[in-house]
Amino acid sequence: MSLEHLFETESRWLTHKGKAYLSDRVVMHGKDLHKELGEMDWIHLYLYAILGRDPGENVAKLLNFYWVSTSYPDASIWPNHVTALAGTVRTTPSLALMAGMSVSEASIYGRRPEVRALDFFYRAGQWCDDGGHLEDFVDQEKQKGRILYGYGRPLAKTDERISYTLDKARELGLAGGRYLQMALDVHQHLDEKYGYSMNVAAVHAGLAADMGLTCQEYQLFLTPCFVTGMAPCYQDTRDKPEGSFFPVRCESIVYGGPAKRKWLSD
């Protein structure tokens, strides 16, 4: 970044994204927020804000189902656990939900695996376009020690969301894409060769690739995905006695550090 650029942006910001002309109008990607976009559902508007274009009603409905199908009001699972802990210590709803959302960027679930699954399918597609076989690409990834995100599930053998997601995609006419079929073919290969199951991240990523979403767009859309399930978990612990969410007694703590030391006085 040059010094000239810093001077240019010192007191103004040039953007094509949008602008709020207070007491007049708000513009988002060239459209009036209240006059032209005011009839959109919130999810549809969120997609428009990210993409800079209208993805269409059916795409918005399917991506909305991603959110619906992951809204688990179970305080014992992550990242809801964090939101519930925030409730039991009486923090605010905003802090509780933000804490839960922040840990949803974990390496074994949530945002990172989903984005890496999308990247995997784009790379697999390029491999096949160059004349390679999908099975060879999958085996090569595994031989390199790379995690095949979307396959296997940390806590369960099967994923109850898959059948509902596929049904919704068929209902909306979005189940015939190349990358969704690739996701299913990868599962068949991994199941036959390694006994791997498939989780919904593979189906979600395959459908997202068929929609043409970039990895950044996909991550932005999915970032608040768990928040609906978090809200009742916060309320549940907030309405119960403070500190009563899965308390741990001292003797239940498994400690493997240095032994107890004796302190010598001078």
Per-residue pLDDT reduced to its tens digit, 21-46? 999 999 999 999 999 999 999 999 99
Q: What is the mean pLDDT of residues 160-188?
A: 97
Is the pLDDT reported for residue 174 higher than 80? yes
Assess contact for 102 and 89: CB atoms under 8 A. no
Is the pLDDT reported for residue 106 higher than 80? no
Task: List, in sequence order, every beta strand (DSSP E) within the chain.
Answer: 18-21, 25-28, 31-32
Three-class secondary structure of residue 31 per DSSP: strand
Q: Residues with Cβ < 8 Å from 174, sequence gap 6 or more?
A: 58, 59, 62, 207, 210, 211
- Domain extents in the chain: 1-39, 111-221
Tell me the fold of 111-221. Cytochrome p450-Terp; domain 2 (1.10.230)
The confidence score (pLDDT) of residue 110 equals 67
The CA distances from residue 248 to 28, 130, 224, 240, in Å, are: 49, 56, 30, 17
Per-residue pLDDT reduced to its tens digit, 129-143? 999 999 999 999 999
Q: What is the pTM of this model?
A: 0.88
The confidence score (pLDDT) of residue 74 equals 96
